[in-house]
């Protein structure tokens, strides 16, 4: 996601650090410095962070070696100026909507430790790209399927076919492409799939039919640049829940990464042929209000281990898919760790492969690619105040780095047969 090779943060510390070094003023060694990045998203929201540093004996500031002494974060955090950014609009989440253009981060370094009024010593512009050179973006409007397919570099040179992945996001709807475009740069053919609130698709998710997702699976499997015999699924939140359902009911799915998903059906009824899964019951009286004035909805869903809500359970025991669950242990959207462990119990009780579960302490609901800023809370259409997402900024940022590595290693192993670990690049 940087200006060179689309790896999220691969050379960020060096680029930011060198910009400060090569364009620095020289007031003397050990001088106080104040660094402040700014990024404006496609809807005009401004994201900022700031940190105080002390230059080294040569008057230079290298973020890979200089700890932050205060500001938005403290300690040795080379990418802190990115993951610690906060929006100027309340509860605004940084989302990349047009992956064909970069995010532009402006960085200035000021003399002294005051955020305002210091003499500017350096200014640099850092572009964070979402499509590696050679990645091809292909809009898909095939039958009912509305999606965008990203093909890896080298497909025109005959290097394919490539392992295929369908990428699904949550209840916000629309078509988000940034994770798919980044993964395509890692050698995968990735299709970002919309399922409501996009183009001519339904406006809401009250009723969903797995036949639509089956059509998408068959399209991807039939693409000449996609290697069979099966594909991978990648989902977050409601998208992860749908990945579990797809892996349980549909054919042709080899591996699935479930990021903070639920093994029970929520929001609306899910249909497939003659079967249906009603939404699990909920009790709004279990909503709690935090001391900051946010709503905490983690306890509102019924636990469907017994009684009529059992009909909402996704029958994961039917699946022959290999699963990786990535869990934020402070997820306040729903009980992701509980659902992951219950899914594991059901799979093993029916003689299926034990899934891999990786839990991240102090990590909330939206586990994004590396260095996307943490979101404390978000507006929710069902409530009259923001809903808390959980997590703490630094722990959440570190979880995103590891999760990005883990899911790539998992897909390479199970879709390509490549068992080498993917190195984490900061």
Structural tokens at position 355: 């899934």
**Separation CA 125–CA 104 (nearest Å):** 7
Farthest CA pair distance, the chain: 76
| Dihedral pair phi/psi, residue 176, rounded to 5° | -105, 130
Those residues with Cβ within 8 angstroms of residue 4's Cβ, 6 or more apart along the chain or in another chain? 10, 11
Catalytic (active site) residue 331:
yes
Catalytic (active site) residue 237:
yes
Active-site residue, from 72, 181, 237, 262: 237
Question: Are 366 and 93 in contact, with CB atoms under 8 Å apart?
Answer: yes
Active-site residue, from 126, 319, 331, 412: 331
Nearest to 71 by CA among 86, 88, 85, 52: 52
Nearest to 80 by CA among 39, 117, 118, 37: 37
Catalytic (active site) residue 319:
no
β-partners of residue 360 are 328
| 3-class SS letters over 171-185 | CCCCCCCHHHHHHHC
| 345-375 core/surface letters (b: 16 or more CB in 10 A; e: else) | ebbeeeebeebebeebebbbbbbbbbbbbbb
| 243-264 core/surface letters (b: 16 or more CB in 10 A; e: else) | bbbbbbbbebbbbbbbbbbbbb
Are β-strands 269-272 and 207-209 bridged in parallel, bridged antiparallel, or unpaired? parallel
Active-site residue, from 50, 126, 129, 365: 365
Which residues carry out catalysis?
Answer: 237, 331, 365
């Amino acid at each position: 996601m940087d200006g060179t090779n689309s790896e999220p943060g691969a050379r960020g510390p060096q680029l930011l650090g060198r910009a400060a070094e090569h364009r620095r003023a020289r007031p003397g060694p050990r001088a106080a410095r104040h660094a402040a990045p700014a990024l404006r998203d496609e809807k005009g929201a401004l994201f900022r962070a700031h940190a105080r540093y002390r230059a080294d004996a040569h008057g230079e500031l290298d973020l890979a070696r200089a700890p932050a002494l205060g500001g938005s974060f403290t300690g040795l955090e080379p990418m802190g100026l990115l993951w610690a950014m906060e929006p100027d609009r309340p509860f605004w989440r940084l989302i990349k909507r047009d992956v064909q253009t970069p995010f532009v981060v402006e960085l200035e370094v000021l003399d002294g430790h005051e955020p305002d009024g210091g003499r500017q010593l350096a200014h640099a512009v850092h572009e964070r790209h979402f499509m590696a050179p050679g990645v091809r973006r292909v809009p898909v409007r095939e039958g009912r399927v509305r999606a965008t397919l990203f093909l890896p570099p080298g497909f025109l040179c005959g290097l394919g076919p490539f392992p295929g992945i369908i990428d699904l996001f949550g209840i916000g709807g629309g078509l988000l492409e940034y994770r798919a475009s980044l993964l395509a740069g890692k050698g995968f053919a990735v299709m970002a799939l919309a399922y409501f609130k996009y183009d001519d698709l339904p406006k809401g998710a009250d009723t969903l039919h797995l036949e639509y997702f089956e059509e998408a699976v068959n399209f991807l499997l039939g693409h000449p640049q996609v290697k069979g015999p099966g594909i991978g699924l990648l989902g977050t939140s409601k998208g992860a829940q749908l990945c579990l359902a797809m892996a349980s009911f549909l054919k042709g799915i080899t591996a699935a990464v479930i990021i903070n998903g639920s093994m029970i059906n929520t929001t609306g009824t899910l249909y497939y042929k003659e079967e249906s899964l009603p939404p699990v019951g909920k009790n709004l009286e279990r909503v709690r209000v935090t001391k900051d004035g946010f709503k905490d909805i983690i306890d509102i869903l019924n636990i469907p281990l017994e009684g009529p809500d059992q009909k909402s359970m996704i029958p994961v025991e039917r699946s022959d898919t290999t699963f990786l669950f990535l869990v934020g242990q402070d997820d306040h959207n729903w009980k992701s760790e509980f659902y992951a462990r219950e899914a594991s119990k059901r799979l093993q009780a029916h003689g299926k492969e034990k899934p891999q579960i990786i839990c991240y302490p102090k990590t909330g609901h939206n586990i994004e690619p590396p260095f996307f800023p943490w979101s404390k809370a978000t507006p929710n259409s069902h409530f009259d105040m923001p809903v808390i997402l959980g997590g703490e900024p630094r722990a959440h940022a570190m979880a995103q780095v590891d999760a990005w590595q883990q899911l790539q290693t998992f897909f390479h192993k199970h879709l390509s047969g490549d068992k080498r670990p993917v190195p984490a690049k900061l």
